[in-house]
Chains A and B, each alone.
Chain A
Amino acid sequence: MDRPLAVRARGITKSFGEVIALDEIDLDVAPGQIHGLVGPNGAGKTTLLGLLLGLAVADGGKLEILGTPIRRALDAPDGVAGFVDGPGLYPSLTARQNLAALATLRGRDARSAGIDEALDQVGLTDVADDRTGGFSLGMRQRLGLAAALLTEPRLLVLDEPSNGLDPIGTRHVHRVLTALAAGGTGIVLSSHRMDDVETLCSEVTILATGRVVFSGPLSKLAAENRELDYRLRTSDPARARTVAEKAPGITVVEDEVVRALVPALDELVTALMRDGIAIRELTPVVSPLEAAFLALTEGSK
């Protein structure tokens, strides 16, 4: 292995008083990988991201960031950037001043720190000299990302980066993240939107009440053997329902909705064709990822 993992966590636990926020968490993020962290509210996503940023130290377990073991709070190695709970911006400063103040704080000359490039990458060049007090949530998110870009991070930690983004903003953010990952930066981002995770992430970790309920490639998650609900629209709903009720491995949930594994579904389609019933639509009611997510997180409650 020539380069260390961006994140290597083993058995991380963290509690606040009597509340266990994280319970035996394992997490691996390779350089160049965009890793999604999903889970319902209160699952511990923000706490875990805070540990990665070095805001706090875990109560137990081992955490290595960019190959460096983390033992104390704020002990993060150089090259970690990002934000939790929304980007930190000062509303009385303009977008450019916010970035310049941050660059100066890190000991870099504000003129040569690449502020214009960072603003351009997130599509905020036009509002660079506006006070951030008037920025929308989406603009703030993008400026927070620009602030992280200034440090040329090797591990980027983002909490709900697509909150409040319009389609253009989303495209800017996706482009920036993909380019960073292509350059070898490991990225961990939390989201509650599975479509976001599907487009961006190669791997995903699902947290529920402080535990990892799934971790691995997205393809593995979707392919997990699980009955799904499908919407089935046909030319003759009444007869189709009779056929479906007789077919093996098929449960009729309601009119035009059946629950089945993929092989049983294949057989149902053939049976319907045989009876001369035309199929007009056959789609999962929720995306396979979302279904998996719901099944996993609800199961753990």
Chain B
Amino acid sequence: MTATVLARPAPLSRGLRFELVKLVSQWRIRLVVLACWIAPGLFVAAVSQQSTLPVDTLFGRWMHATGWAGALVMLGFAGTWALPLLTSLVAGDVFASEDRLGTWRHLLVAVRSPRRIFVAKTLASLTVIVLMVAGLLVSSVAGGLLAVGNQPLAGLDGHLLSTGDTAARVLLAWVCVLAPTLALAAIGLLGSVLLGRSPMGLLLPALVALALQLAQMLPIPVAVRLALPGYAFISWNGLFTEPAQLGPLLIGIAVGLVWAVVATTLAYVLFLRRDFTSVSHDGIGRRAILAGVLPLAGLLVASVVVIGATTGATASGIDQDKVQRSVATAFAHLYRIQTGQLNRPDVTEAQLGATADCNKGGGKLDPEGAGNDWRCVVSWHLPDTPATGQAVYQLDLTPDGRYMADGDGPKEVNGYFLVHTPAGDAPNPLWQFDGNVDLLANEPKG
């Protein structure tokens, strides 16, 4: 009797192709991929033509000045809405769809390896998500450059970046947010494996992202803030200061990647433990849901401890000294830009020697932490003038370290008036500006 050869599992490349065919054949995936490649460009181009700009979003106020600002506005928007929803749609459904269609047994008989099915599905959803993110980036950059043009961008501390530098940093910022996106995608995979047909599985990444955003709006300690997997959605803006605030960014990326790996591994383990023979399978039992949630809760606690111990950051990360330095730096850079726009003789930041004196709550409160009651008096010198210039700013500082400074006089320095720029009339750059403090920096640099 001749021994029959055992059927070998289908190679991974073919399984991946099979999964991609299934994903791309869905109308909603096609529509969303198409939208990712078209809509941001149209949005950026359209907004750039408006007289009112989305100043609530970081870099929104620079959209008339340079086409690169559009891609960063899009990045802020993507981190809040688009990326959580896209990962929900793709990764949150990639396992659950087989439950919904009742095709698990078919797939298992065809592939003959749950491991390869898992890897193929993970890689397929990763491919589609990366394709969508690439679309958002390319489209918003193209829309901005075509509608506004390739001009230098003023960074978050007001210093002008060359166009080449801007391009590199915009690209890098989008690459950085892949880390939290992957974390959300992995949570989506886990939810999809755990919850089966239940719509909760599909919504999980979006819900987690929403919870993370809410947490970032609360005054939580820096170590906790950085340990949340969505922090890189915020900390990419550290790339647009000089020197770049790499500490929070790198920690945010590392946390995102660790979450991606841990959640994917959990999904893998739970998927392999699943029994496909019993007829009525609808996700996995409550115990397994705990098996998915508890390790992630453990990971969160562990990363808080590790980040707290290594950085020594326990408080809000926002203190008087940091705010003063940040406001003074941004003011000096923007003053120089304003000088150019008003056709006055150039001054350097060093000549200005700008300093800021900030207090909170009219000096009655401890000058520490977030709040909209920060007030700063900026002082500077002009080379040929003995008098010291002074200007007042009201700051609205959020717990994530970002602030919006609103000029409170004198009117001819930081009031609202129009200046002539190559891109047309624009509001006085010193009138209102965005900035941030590095939550981790302990010692004054330089």
Contact = CB atoms under 8 A, between A and B. Distances in A.
B3 A105 contact: no
Contacts, number: 108
Interface stretch (B16-24, B220-228, B334-342): B16-24
A54 interface: yes
B310 interface: no
Given A55-B109, A84-B105, A88-B103, A50 B17 contact: no
A56 B3 contact: no
B279 A67 contact: no
B108 interface: yes
User: Most chain-B CB neighbours within 10 Å: which of A76, A87, A101, A102?
Assistant: A101
A104 B17 contact: yes
A93 B21 contact: yes
B101 A77 contact: no
A75 B9 CA distance: 9
Contacts of B27: 92
A101 B18 contact: yes
A79 B109 CA distance: 11
A93 B103 contact: no
A78 B110 contact: no
A67 B102 contact: no
B104 to A, nearest CB: 8
Interface string B1-30: 111111101110011011001100111000
B2 A90 contact: no
Interface residues of B, number: 38
Contacts of A149: none
Contacts of B21: 93, 97, 101
Interface residues of A, number: 40
A97 B15 CA distance: 15
Nearest to A70: B6
B132 to A, nearest CB: 18
Given A68-B3, A104-B14, A107-B10, A88 B105 contact: yes
B111 interface: yes
B103 to A, nearest CB: 4
Contacts of A81: 109
B384 interface: no
A104 B18 contact: yes
A90 B104 CA distance: 11
A83 interface: yes
Contacts of B4: 4, 66-68, 77-79
Secondary structure of the A contact surface, majority rule: loop
A67 B22 contact: no
B52 interface: no
A189 to B, nearest CB: 16
Contact of A75 (B6, B26, B279): B6
B77 interface: no
Given A83-B105, A105-B10, A92 B25 contact: yes
A82 B108 CA distance: 12
A59 to B, nearest CB: 11
Given A88-B101, A92-B26, A102-B110, A107 B279 contact: no
Nearest to B98: A88
B277 A50 contact: yes
B103 A78 contact: no
A89 interface: yes
B103 A90 contact: yes
With a 10 A CB-CB cut-off, give which of B6, B108, B112, B277 has the most chain A CB atoms. Answer: B277
B26 A46 contact: no
A54 B101 contact: no
A68 B14 CA distance: 26
A224 B275 CA distance: 40
A209 to B, nearest CB: 16
A88 B278 CA distance: 16
B18 A50 contact: no
Interface of B: 1-7, 9-11, 14-15, 17-18, 21-22, 25-27, 101-114, 275-279
Given A91-B101, A93-B21, A101-B21, 14 more contacts: A67-B3, A74-B113, A77-B6, A77-B7, A78-B5, A78-B7, A82-B109, A83-B106, A85-B102, A88-B106, A89-B103, A90-B103, A97-B25, A105-B15
Q: Please name the 9 residue pairs, one residue from A and one from B, whose CB atoms are nearest each other, closest first.
A: A88-B106, A56-B277, A88-B103, A77-B4, A92-B25, A78-B7, A68-B4, A74-B112, A66-B4
Interface of A: 1, 4, 16, 46-47, 50, 53-56, 66-68, 74-93, 97, 101-102, 104-107
